[in-house]
A = this chain, B = another copy of it.
Amino acid sequence: MDRYILKVACPDRKGIIAAVTRVVAESGANVLDLTQHTASDVDTFMLKGLFEAPEPFDRKAFDAAFAPIAEEYDMHWSLHAESRRERVAILVSRTNHRLWELLLKHQDDELACDIPVILSNHLINEPVARQFGIPFYHVDYGEGKQKAEARIRKVLDEYKIDLVVMARYMQSLSPEFTRAWENRVINIHHGFLPAFQGAKPYHQAWYKGVKIIGATAHFANEDLDQGPIIAQEVLPVSDRASIRQLVQMGKDVERRTLLHALNLYLSHSVFVYGNRTFVLN
């Protein structure tokens, strides 16, 4: 049996679930887990369903059967074979603790994706990529951001990348880039948006005497730190921690948050509506 994840979003109306699940049942499949939510505040219907289909599953027939209701209800929808792994590229600069975390979890089979390529504006992480047997591309910003980003986008295309993860990439992305890859680039912001913007956020936090630190994973858009939030995690901090320790703890919570967000994305749980997400899981 193959397993598929169906995502549907549309303006709310009566009877959508019945219509959707009837098509699934008529295709011979069985729903194993389904979450539906109507965000009444913005009158929007969202559904995520996991179903088990008999083999061979006739994908074309399913699409044909689904098309009429998709049109009738004005749906955004997608169907994902659980066995099909998303292809994730990593952008990294020098600091590599997030890179390591991703590669290790991946090797340990805790990230259900492929990582076919790593790109960096520094050569320092080439040995890390090699250690894990992953192709590494150096991106040279010497001839300007435009050429560098063209190079990146060419590599992403060649490797048929679905999602880009910024694992501490110290170059901002241009609006052209983030528009072309809208809601397909995950970035991390230290702390809770929009607190402690600017340089040295953990220094600011320490002098403010905060009792909790946190991180936010979000889709990158033009304003790199303001895109739709995917996941947030926090860590209580003791006032006996020094600034240096706060920075270290921040590293840890940022890493966990990135991992959490990536897993939500890979399980097809993230719906984007306007400038926010709805995570259904």
The interface centre, meaning the residue of A12, A13, A239 with most chain B CB atoms within 10 A of its CB, is A239
A281 to chain B, nearest CB (A): 8
16 contacts between A and B (CB under 8 A): A12-B30, A15-B22, A15-B30, A18-B25, A30-B38, A34-B34, A41-B242, A104-B104, A110-B252, A131-B131, A193-B208, A195-B195, A207-B275, A209-B276, A212-B232, A239-B277
A22 to chain B: which residues have CB within 8 Å? 15, 18, 22
User: How distant is A215 from chain B, measured CB to nearest CB, in Å?
Assistant: 11
| Chain A interface residues (CB < 8 Å from chain B) | 12-18, 21-22, 24-25, 28-41, 49, 97, 100-101, 104, 107-108, 110, 131, 192-195, 206-212, 214, 228-229, 231-234, 239-240, 242-243, 248, 252, 274-280
- 16 further A-B contacts with Cβ under 8 Å, apart from A14-B30, A41-B243, are A14-B28, A15-B25, A18-B22, A21-B21, A31-B36, A39-B242, A100-B104, A131-B131, A192-B195, A193-B195, A209-B275, A211-B232, A212-B234, A214-B234, A234-B234, A239-B279
Q: A211 contacts which chain B residues (CB < 8 A)? A: 229, 231-232, 279
Q: Secondary structure at chain A's binding surface: helix, strand, loop or mixed?
A: mixed
Q: Which residues on the B side are within 8 Å of A248 (C-beta)?
A: 110
A210 touches B195 (CB 8 A): no
Cβ–Cβ contact B14 & A209, under 8 A: no
Q: Which chain B residues border A14 with CB–CB below 8 Å? A: 25, 28-30
